[in-house]
Amino acid sequence: MRFSQLLLLAGLWAGSAPVQAAAAPPAARPPQTTGTVRKHLIYFTNKANSPYSLSQPQAYLSARALQRRTRQGISLRPRDLPVNPAYVAQVKAVAGVQLWYTSRWFNAAIVACDSTTLAVLNGLSCVRGAETLNRGLAAPRPAEDVPPAVAQRLSSSADYGIAYGQAKMIGAATMHNAGFRGEGMQIAVFDAGFTGVNQVAAFAPLFQEQRIASTFNFVDKNTSVYQRDAHGTQCLSTMAANQPGVFIGTAPKATYRLFITEDSRLNSENPIEEANWLVAAEYADSAGVDVISSSLGYTTFDLPSADYTYADMNGRTAISTRAAVVAARVGMLVVNSAGNEGTSSWRYIAAPADADSILTVGAVDSLRAHAPFSSYGPTADGRIKPNVATQGRQSAIISPSGTVGTGNGTSFSCPIMAGMAAGFWQANPALNAQQVLSFLQRSGTLATAPNNTLGYGIPHFVRAYNLANPNNPLAADSPAVADAALTIYPNPSAGEAMSLHLSAAFRAAPLHVRLFDARGRLVRELRLAATPAADVRLPAIGLVKGLYFCEVSTDKARQTVRFVQL
């Protein structure tokens, strides 16, 4: 399921020869059949007598994928070998079988067939078992074309719009000032659809700069992803949006691969979506992706026999969890939403958030307090989850129409964190994925006393960078760290408490704060005690809707910033 706004390839493509970087997935969807056709995951007995070899990995992994493994000292293993083509041929030879995908990691295939044909498949000597993934096959939706777009230029922190607070909370704005915006990093986004991404101005630089490396719809088996659902668009915006003066995400210069793995057309939940997650992760691996951002989770299904229990959240049971573990083992940083079950009877994290060695992200509000909907840990086997937390309540997002607004959910705290993680890794390219995860955890506000509500707390780029570079830290007063401009956030405000982010000139001095309406009339006046902190929370102000100006002064400096009260 999508963690949406609550309270808010080598060896991969069925029947195809392996191709480097999985660059050309099949464009056509297998024909539909009638009757009780369902999808199944069939497992093969072994990879014996395969024509593929660990000594010739270029036949099934891209140069970028191999470089990622070499850089991290990760050896190739038999799980990396594609499924034996002879076994694939045997399956395809059975009448009534539609072969969708194969899985290197699970040594398996996703097929569609009726129960009689499944029995025939289970009788093959190369098949050791199968599990059913859904109730039936849904009809595809029409594809959408990608129109041309124009570029935008990244500017200063003043251009983040209402996204500034969530970027600043984890040091992403500072990271950008230091020169790390995700350049050269690849992020794969797994979701239910990306409507409007090919039309909204904030995403235009992705197309103009050719930073959409690939798209694939694993539900319909084609490349059309700018359709179906707004959830992926909203999640992507928190990382990739780059429209100065309106919205800047946490990784505005990264390269993206957009994958539909979730079928949102029906009000249903089936394990086939977990299988889609698996093959998407394998595609990401073979293409050389660095970071996976997944705002998805699975607990119960339409088929009651497939339901998980909390005991299954042990890091080794769910299909998506097992896939996430392998994705981490091959050197990708997997970032996944904790889930929005904090106030439900389930309460705990969902799969694949229970996976070991991945960065599971919970949610806080703009004041850094736990968002009640954010799911709790621990895993069933006692590991701390979530790992970290970022803003997920009243997160700034962009809709498919281009409208900037806010939304609630760990769906948004996850990609906000994924974008910062990509920039941190860019700044520290010698680290491996698990070291990146470790430094981010150690930079958290609860690093010395982690818990199962916020994990290691809210991470921060500067703290993580200085932990990774003790001999060359970023100084607190360096231009890269100290923001030059006074800011007020959240902006616009929907009535919640606001805070001032002070430039160095306003710290450690008594503050005189005056608020003026659009006509220049003084409506509030505050006197605040001196503080060395960069952030100062304002008392409740109680303003009516409209445009305001906030003037902050000391005996030596004065600055004014405008904000909107919704």
Residue 266, pLDDT score: 64
Mean pLDDT of 141-150: 31
- Say which amino acid occupies 55: S
Asked if residue 490 lies in contact with residue 556, where contact means CB atoms within 8 angstroms, the answer is: no
Strand order in the sheet with 388-391: 212-217, 255-260, 186-191, 291-294, 333-337, 359-364, 388-391
Active site residue 411: yes
Out of 40, 176, 231, 370, the active site residue is 231
* Alpha carbon 20 to its chain's center: 25
Structure tokens at 176: 């950008």
Identify the CATH number of the domain in which residue 504 sits.
2.60.40.1930
* Position 448 in a domain: yes
Out of 40, 62, 80, 191, the active site residue is 191
Residue 160 half-sphere exposure toward CB, CA atoms < 13 A = 31
253 and 110 share a domain?
no
454 and 328 share a domain?
yes
- pLDDT per position as a tens digit, 289-320: 999 999 999 998 887 778 999 999 999 999 99
329 and 403 share a domain?
yes
More confident residue, 137 or 467: 467
CA-CA-CA-CA dihedral for 68, 183, 190, 334, to nearest 10:
50
Rounded distance, CA 268 to CA 70, Å? Answer: 41
User: Helical H runs in 84-203?
Assistant: 85-92, 115-122, 164-169, 172-177
Residue 257, strand partner residues: 188, 214
* Position 41 in a domain: yes
Query: Which residues does 27 contact at the CB level (< 8 Å), separation at least 6?
Result: 222, 223
Mean pLDDT of 146-174: 67
Rounded distance, CA 113 to CA 85, Å? Answer: 20
* Position 473 in a domain: no
Structure tokens at 556: 């030596």
Active site residue 365: no
- CA angle, residues 472, 431, 284, in degrees to nearest 5: 145
286 and 414 share a domain?
yes
209 pLDDT above the threshold of 90: yes
Residue 13 DSSP class: B
519 pLDDT above the threshold of 80: no
Task: Show which of 468, 501, 524 is a domain's final residue.
Answer: 468
* Position 539 in a domain: yes
* Position 374 in a domain: yes
Burial class (CB in 10 A: 0-12, 13-18, 19+), 72: middle
Active site residue 231: yes
* Position 54 in a domain: yes
Task: Show which of 97, 132, 167 is a domain's final residue.
Answer: 132
443 and 493 share a domain?
no
Out of 411, 413, 443, 493, the active site residue is 411
pTM, 2 dp:
0.80
Mean pLDDT of 411-423: 98
349 and 217 share a domain?
yes
Residue 7, pLDDT score: 30
66 and 115 share a domain?
yes
Per-residue pLDDT band at 562 (split at 50, 70, 90): confident
Q: Residue 496: count other Cβ atoms within 10 Å of its Cβ.
A: 12
Residue 154, pLDDT score: 34
* Alpha carbon 33 to its chain's center: 35
Structure tokens at 351: 């799969």
Tell me which residue has tokens 């359709």.
227
Residue 36 half-sphere exposure toward CB, CA atoms < 13 A = 6
* Position 5 in a domain: no
Range of the domain at 89: 20-132
Is the torsion defined by CA of 470, 476, 482, 488 positive or negative?
A: positive
182 and 306 share a domain?
yes
Q: Among 176-190, 193-207, 489-503, name the one with the lowest average pLDDT.
A: 489-503
Rounded distance, CA 259 to CA 281, Å? Answer: 10
Asked if residue 192 lies in contact with residue 232, where contact means CB atoms within 8 angstroms, the answer is: yes
Q: Residue 309: count other Cβ atoms within 10 Å of its Cβ.
A: 11
- CA angle, residues 167, 484, 505, in degrees to nearest 5: 125
Identify the CATH number of the domain in which residue 272 sits.
3.40.50.200
Number of domains in the chain: 3
Q: How many helices (H) and strands (E) does the chain have?
A: 12, 22
123 and 232 share a domain?
no
* Position 11 in a domain: no
- pLDDT per position as a tens digit, 345-393: 999 999 999 999 999 999 999 999 999 999 999 999 999 999 999 999 9
Rounded distance, CA 165 to CA 148, Å? Answer: 31
85 and 128 share a domain?
yes
More confident residue, 266 or 252: 252
Mean pLDDT of 23-44: 63
Closest CA to 288 of 248, 267, 257: 257
Query: Which residues does 304 contact at the CB level (< 8 Å), separation at least 6?
Result: none
Residue 253 DSSP class: T
Strand order in the sheet with 499-501: 487-489, 499-501, 535-537
Per-residue pLDDT band at 167 (split at 50, 70, 90): very high
531 and 560 share a domain?
yes
Residue 363, strand partner residues: 390
193 and 232 share a domain?
yes
